[in-house]
Structure 1
Amino acid sequence: MDLQALLLTAGGSLIVALLLGPILIPVLHRMKFGQRIREEGPKHHQVKAGTPTMGGIIILLALLVSTLKFALESVDVIILLIATFGFGLIGFADDFIKVVKKRNLGLRAKQKLFWQAIVTVVLFLLLRWHFDATGQSFDVAVPFTHLVVPLGALYILFLMVVLLGSTNAVNLTDGLDGLLSGTASIIFAAYAFYAYRHTEYDVAIFCAAMVGALLGFLYYNRHPAKVFMGDTGSLAIGGALALVGVLTHSELGLILFGFVYVVEALSVIIQVFSFQVFGRRVFKMSPIHHHFELSGWSEWEVVLFFWLAAFLTSFGTLLLFSR
């Protein structure tokens, strides 16, 4: 496989996403699948109320079409799609409860964690079968060292942490127009090159398809957004990113490739801890992208800053891993 195949895959999913937008966005409008804006969020976000959500369907369909076209017989891609659609389905249920039952928080935390754990167990069983068939093992490589930690059956616990951490960190980042779709397209592009260099060609194809799908969606999601991806998209992206890390045996490298998501999650953890223990907030609002907004940055300035941060951290990590 050459780099041309990656470009064709990305281009295919980009075109499908661009074509789906004018079809699905009006449907979401007619079905009144409008986003409800949390009252505790920045006040100027209230103008976004009613913008169609569940736009992650566009990403998922474009991804599916492109990957099935270019990597139909790949076990790696099938597992990646199961992870992506498995978590995407949880997100869809969450979005559906929000917009149909008018319950702004969607699935309860325990319900969401339960179904995420179920999907993780299914993925572990698939990975164990796949690794046994291909002679791979559940070893975790420590970046920038020669240390490899064999986890064996305990890998399921590690996988639980990786998947739940990734999906929820990515989900927290989906708060501004184009923020998640832009940063994710950059990170998946870096991972496409990483997988290609390590001869994980099917994983590279999947990453390329995700890049195209995200860029196509970004056309409609850029400020002012015509559609939001909702948890349908954000949980699917988080699940896909985590499994890319697993299949390229760079699970710990996810921390570096997706460092912007780590920072977003840490800002929430720090904020909650500080408020509960010391009774004061570290940030004006968390996740941290809202802190920048309330500090006087425009939404577009915050998004551009995070795009740049995603580029520097993900492609910087790619360069470091190439040395």
Structure 2
Amino acid sequence: MAQYTLASLLILTTAYDPLTVNIGFAVLAGIITWFAVPALSEIFIKAGLKGMDLCKKSKQIIPESMGMVAGLIYLVVMFLFIPFPFMKWFAASQDGRQEELALLTFPHLKLAELLSALLSIQSMVFLGFADDVLDIRWRFKMPLPAIAAIPLLVVYWVNAGVTYIVVPIPLRPILGHLIDLGVLYYIYMGMVAIFCTHSINIMAGINGVEVGQSLVIAVSIALNDILFLQSSSSSAPAIETHLFSLYFILPFIGVSVGLFIHNRYPSRVFIGDTYCYFAGMTFAVVGILAHYSKTLLLFFIPQIFNFLLSAPQLFRLVPCPRHRIPRFNRGTGLMEPSRVILDQEAFDEEPLTIIKPRHGTQHLHPQQQMTLRRSASTASLGGSTQTGSSSHTLQESALPADPPSRSVTPPPGQLTPSSSSPSLFSFSPSSLIPSKSRHSPMPRTSLKRSGWICVKLLEALGLTQVRYDAQTGQRPIEMTNLTIMNLILLKAGPMSEQNLTLSVMLVQTICSAIAFIIRHQLVIYVYDVPS
């Protein structure tokens, strides 16, 4: 009996502290997600939501769209949490304390904000699951986050939403102290919802990377909220908005940790687009309603960089394959940068044994990874042969082979296998003399001029690796896909899938640290900060 009395007293004591209750719900949500994901996996497989991990040698069937489980648990926990921020109003009405109740005007707008935020998140969980099942085309699903954010924006407008922005100090002599954007501010918030959602979705494809980057962002948001709560200079409205942010972020961290345990390498579940939509809308909700969308975007520095890097492919300036995730080398068990063919005609005509000397060794397209047949008279190579793989390596380069159905005779002056010399290649100096096409501003290629300029610029910045045709050295044939994961592999070399996920999370963590420095240290040079 004493135990039940103690439990009741503990509940009554903590019920009036919403943050404590929220932390308890967050822990509970993480534990439930941890147990629910494997328990429901078989149900998803039987429903046809399943697939194979292409980056593994095994052919194990894995359930897909398990982000729906995390999203539903999050929503249930948040629904149960709704009464607690308003507990003192409920308690005053039940106790009949009319005088106290008269002084406590119920915050209807705050309740509307909470409900509209949950409605927007719930809408994105539903739309994400629909995308996993129906495979909605990009042109249709692109504006979905902005549509789902409409309830949020309407409540923001009803709550006398501020549409002006503070001008940075260096620009105030020209633009003044404040600028009222009006309806443009609502368009901006809709674009924030779209970006937060899709930026996580395009930075995905390997075990744990979606949940991993979202966890780092969520923890960064929570730390930022705690700093504001602990700051003596924070005003009452700022404390209230950052508490509101914590109410949404802490349960999200809980379900994400429970899901990450099963989604990290080697993944036992796939999360699908559902989790990406759910995570992005959760971040957009706290950024909009807590009035720190600019700070939120600072935590998205890797996603912003990934979007800018991917823009030439996303906007079709250069070819964009359906999947741009790094390529799994079954021989080495490592992830390598994936490639896209820029000129299919030149690719088909290109002799497969040619590697352009001035650009160093190149990783070759999977279509060129064929068995290399060497005669007994060929000298021993300096590279290593991959057992059980169709690719062979010489130093850093994977050597292509002649297809069994045809023989390849490289043109004069190009690199050719030599059977009479201890070295692998012999070539004529004439191959290094520029041809006429080298003097033309743009070689004959299937790329448009804008795409050709993008390829040259990205190569000059070291953001991609381009392979050119052997005859002129100017016609781009293929390049590495433009994603941050392919760039990490390009700079750091092939690595395991687990290390690649950890590398992305490390980059995300470093960028979050930079964001904190900008927001809390360098901000005094841009905006007025109360002392």
Under TM normalisation by the shorter chain, which class is it?
0.7 to 0.9
User: How far apart in 1 are the matches of 2:292 and 2:312?
Assistant: 26
Of 172, 185, 194, the match for 1:155: 185
Greater helix content: 1
Question: Are 1:66 and 2:262 counterparts?
Answer: no
1:114/1:242 Cα in 2 relative to 1: closer, same or farther (>3 Å)? closer
Of 226, 229, 242, the match for 2:271: 229
What letter corresponds to residue 11 of structure 1 in structure 2?
A: V
1:54/1:71 Cα in 2 relative to 1: closer, same or farther (>3 Å)? same
Aligned to 1:26: 42
User: How far apart in 1 are the matches of 2:169 and 2:79?
Assistant: 35
Aligned to 1:101: none
Question: Are 1:311 and 2:509 counterparts?
Answer: yes
1:2/1:31 Cα in 2 relative to 1: closer, same or farther (>3 Å)? closer
User: How far apart in 2 are the matches of 1:166 and 1:216?
Assistant: 22
Q: Report the CA distance between 1:290 and its aligned residue.
A: 3.6
| Preserved contact between residue 9 and residue 205 of structure 1 (Cα < 8 Å) | no
Q: Bigger CA drift: 6-15 or 233-242?
A: 6-15
Aligned to 1:95: 132
Aligned to 2:247: 205
Q: Bigger CA drift: 267-276 or 8-17?
A: 267-276
Of 135, 144, 161, the match for 1:115: 144
1:211/1:265 Cα in 2 relative to 1: closer, same or farther (>3 Å)? same
TM superposition score normalised by structure 2: 0.52
What letter corresponds to residue 268 of structure 2 in structure 1?
A: K
User: How far apart in 1 are the matches of 2:178 and 2:116?
Assistant: 24
User: How far apart in 2 are the matches of 1:296 and 1:234?
Assistant: 26
Aligned to 1:127: 156
Of 483, 490, 511, the match for 1:287: 483
User: How far apart in 2 are the matches of 1:320 and 1:156?
Assistant: 25
| Preserved contact between residue 34 and residue 49 of structure 1 (Cα < 8 Å) | no
Q: Report the CA distance between 1:206 and its aligned residue.
A: 0.8
Q: Bigger CA drift: 275-284 or 260-269?
A: 275-284
1:3/1:78 Cα in 2 relative to 1: closer, same or farther (>3 Å)? closer
1:148/1:12 Cα in 2 relative to 1: closer, same or farther (>3 Å)? farther
Q: Report the CA distance between 1:27 and its aligned residue.
A: 1.1
Superposed counterparts of 1:117-196, under 5 Å: 117-129=146-158, 131-132=159-160, 136-140=161-165, 148-196=178-226
Q: Bigger CA drift: 210-219 or 116-125?
A: 116-125
Aligned to 2:32: 16
What secondary structure does 2:155 align onto? helix
Q: Report the CA distance between 1:123 and its aligned residue.
A: 2.9
What secondary structure does 1:201 align onto? helix
Q: Report the CA distance between 1:270 and its aligned residue.
A: 4.0
Aligned to 1:262: 304
Question: Are 1:216 and 2:263 counterparts?
Answer: no
Q: Report the CA distance between 1:2 and its aligned residue.
A: 8.6
Identity %: 22
Q: Bigger CA drift: 25-34 or 115-124?
A: 115-124
1:149/1:86 Cα in 2 relative to 1: closer, same or farther (>3 Å)? farther
Instruction: Number of aligned residue pairs: give it.
Output: 306
Q: Report the CA distance between 1:87 and its aligned residue.
A: 1.8
What letter corresponds to residue 30 of structure 1 in structure 2?
A: K
What letter corresponds to residue 112 of structure 1 in structure 2?
A: K
| Preserved contact between residue 144 and residue 321 of structure 1 (Cα < 8 Å) | no
Aligned to 2:120: 83
Aligned to 2:345: none
| Preserved contact between residue 77 and residue 203 of structure 1 (Cα < 8 Å) | no
User: How far apart in 2 are the matches of 1:171 and 1:213?
Assistant: 18
1:296/1:96 Cα in 2 relative to 1: closer, same or farther (>3 Å)? same
1:165/1:143 Cα in 2 relative to 1: closer, same or farther (>3 Å)? farther
Quote the RMSD (CA, aligned, Å). Answer: 2.9
What letter corresponds to residue 35 of structure 2 in structure 1?
A: L
Q: Report the CA distance between 1:214 and its aligned residue.
A: 0.6
What secondary structure does 1:107 align onto? coil
What secondary structure does 1:253 align onto? helix
Aligned to 1:102: none
Relative contact order higher in (CA < 8 Å, ≥ 6 apart): 1
What letter corresponds to residue 47 of structure 2 in structure 1?
A: M
1:67/1:117 Cα in 2 relative to 1: closer, same or farther (>3 Å)? closer
What secondary structure does 1:122 align onto? helix
| Preserved contact between residue 146 and residue 191 of structure 2 (Cα < 8 Å) | no
Q: Report the CA distance between 1:247 and its aligned residue.
A: 1.6
User: How far apart in 1 are the matches of 2:166 and 2:67?
Assistant: 32
Q: Report the CA distance between 1:155 and its aligned residue.
A: 2.0
TM superposition score normalised by structure 1: 0.83
Aligned to 2:5: none
User: How far apart in 2 are the matches of 1:189 and 1:257?
Assistant: 10
User: How far apart in 2 are the matches of 1:254 and 1:170?
Assistant: 14
1:49/1:241 Cα in 2 relative to 1: closer, same or farther (>3 Å)? farther
Q: Report the CA distance between 1:210 and its aligned residue.
A: 0.5
